[in-house]
Structure 1
Amino acid sequence: MANERSDSDWSLSDNDFDISQGSESDSVSEEYDVESDSDTDIGDYDHASVWTRAYPPEDISSGTKLVFTERHTGPISVPPRNSQPIQYLYLFLTDNVIDNIVKQTNKYAADVLATKTEWIASHKRSRFRRWNPVTEDKIKKYLGLNLLMGLIRVKDEREYWSTCRETRIPFFPETMSRDDFLLISRFFHVSDSSKVKPRGDPNFDPWHKIRPFLDSCNELFKKHYKPKETVSIDESMIGMRNRFAYIQYMPNKRHSRYGIKKFELCEADTGYVFHIDLYSGRDFYASGSEKGLSHTVVMSIMEKSRLLNKGYHLVTDNFYTKVPLAEALLENKTSLTGTIRINSKDCHKS
């Protein structure tokens, strides 16, 4: 036939194996059994040099195969299709959350103003004189303006209420006065400061100022969604450069290298955030643990998320992936997949 070639036509360059003659071609034929396979046409292969040895798959006994036991995964108790976006926001910003913000903000404002009575009396132009207790409606407006500020960026917060014809943004002064907004920002609270444990106390919480809101979010994340089999844990950053004890620097986070580090458990298919933990240093997060930070983070989040012993498949990067962690998860009927550092002490050299 016209497309048939002689053996001599298959001689490759000096850098490749010479299939037509020589000891190298014998070894290739012996290793890959090219000539003995009557169904294989050597013309189907472009280069002998790109061939690699294929090893048989690992023999995994049926006894170690985990079964995913969760059923009816996905959204739970959500608004009907074509609902307004605000309805989905209210799944997490519930009336209880708003009521708590109103209560704690008014309480904190009353406590602060009670200690500044004489100062306010001697400063007749003080903004504190115009304080009025907030309501549910006013807090919703305040939170809405904060969300809008993320879309409309200006150099100074007061510019949102600018009266300049060229730069004014009518929506802000029509929704809330500048003084009201700044006063709410001054007194905004979600927790009772009078119940805070002092630093050094065994029960001291570094995130006490936002703990009620964070706990509420984590519970509502679980209330309205059941994740599918594959989930992932990784860290992320809330970008900021404020004067704050727990600001972290992560050079590999290009979008924001400075800020508050948080650990998140997300569903792999949709990216839905199922649980959030804030990092406040090893002294608080992994204190007393002999397993190390990465092990403690994963086991703690999986336990808080109530996903252990259900056959879930966790995916992590090489910061978390360790043999002891895989063994601990397997004991809790959870499988682990992830990249691993070649210089890890748990990685056996071969």
Structure 2
Amino acid sequence: MNCFGHGRQTNRYARTVISSKDHNLLSNRSRFKTWKPVVLSEMRQFIAICMHMGINPKPTLHHYWTPHPALHSSFCRKVMPKERFLSILAFFHITDNSTFILFDQPDHDLVHNIRPIITHLNDKFKELYSLGQNVCIDEAMVPFKGRSRFSIHMKDKPTKWGFKLYELCESGSGYVYSLEMYCANKRISNKPIDITMRLMEPILNKGH
């Protein structure tokens, strides 16, 4: 995906938001005034920091740049200044809002804002690995405690709050070959048989 289109959608969204502001009411330090278009190298750095945060959790975003000895880590400080990261984060976008289809329309996509990521991951999962014979389909939870219409609570899971995924995996290694996100879309059946057939469709009748 070339780091989400070289940041084109982020830059487009930033221009849209910034142009809607009354700059006379903004301080000189406002990110709406200091914004500079993001480039490919910065998008790679931004994604790297996001991945780092996923495996090295800290209390707040600001703690990744703190010099405090109890919380200090050098990775983020070396990759990108904190203010630049927060600026990109404020405008981060991977889809064009003008292509959004309203909720009451037949082709509305509930996960429109992250659809390119899901599509890209599924394409790469299949491109980079030859799936073994034995496969399984299961649920997975992505931990998340923020506010989202897609966040759910599953009291019997080790991770009780977050986003639910349905995954087609290789039984032996656990390699994820395909996934889809549960989003309570009434137009798409979430019956186990229908989920199974959707995920299995690319490998049906191929010896698995």
Same topology, TM > 0.5: yes
Q: What is the deviation of 1:167?
A: 4.3
Q: What number of residue pairs does the alignment pair up?
A: 208
Question: What SS class does the counterpart of residue 154 from structure 1 fall into?
Answer: coil
In structure 2, do the counterparts of structure 1 residues 128 and 169 end up closer, same or farther at CA, with 3 Å as the change threshold? farther
Name the CA distance, whole Å, in 1 between partners of 2:47 and 2:113.
17
Structure 1: 5+ residue stretches without partners:
1-95, 287-291, 313-350
Question: What SS class does the counterpart of residue 148 from structure 2 fall into?
Answer: coil
Name the counterpart of 1:115: 20
In structure 2, do the counterparts of structure 1 residues 164 and 310 end up closer, same or farther at CA, with 3 Å as the change threshold? closer
- String of CA shifts for 1:47-89, please: whole Å, max 9, x gaps: xxxxxxxxxxxxxxxxxxxxxxxxxxxxxxxxxxxxxxxxxxx
RMSD: 1.8
- String of CA shifts for 1:283-334, please: whole Å, max 9, x gaps: 1321xxxxx611111111111xx1112232xxxxxxxxxxxxxxxxxxxxxx
Name the CA distance, whole Å, in 1 between partners of 2:162 and 2:60.
20
- Is 1:279–1:285's contact at 8 Å kept on the other side of the alignment? no
- Is 2:4–2:94's contact at 8 Å kept on the other side of the alignment? no
Matches within 5 A, 1:122-137: 122-137=26-41
- Is 1:231–1:265's contact at 8 Å kept on the other side of the alignment? yes
- 94, 101, 107: which one aligns with 1:197: 101
Question: What SS class does the counterpart of residue 136 from structure 2 fall into?
Answer: strand
In structure 2, do the counterparts of structure 1 residues 159 and 200 end up closer, same or farther at CA, with 3 Å as the change threshold? same
Task: Pick the structure with greater CA Rg.
Answer: 1
- String of CA shifts for 1:110-160, please: whole Å, max 9, x gaps: 1111111x1465422312222111111111111111222233332121122
Counterpart of 2:200 in structure 1: which amino acid?
M
**More helix by proportion, 1 or 2?**
2
Name the CA distance, whole Å, in 1 between partners of 2:185 and 2:129.
31
Is residue 307 from structure 1 mapped to residue 203 from structure 2 by the alignment? yes
Name the counterpart of 1:265: 168
Say which structure, 1 or 2, has more relative contact order (CA 8 Å, 6+ apart).
2
Name the CA distance, whole Å, in 1 between partners of 2:173 and 2:71.
39
Name the CA distance, whole Å, in 1 between partners of 2:185 and 2:38.
38
- 178, 183, 186: which one aligns with 1:280: 183
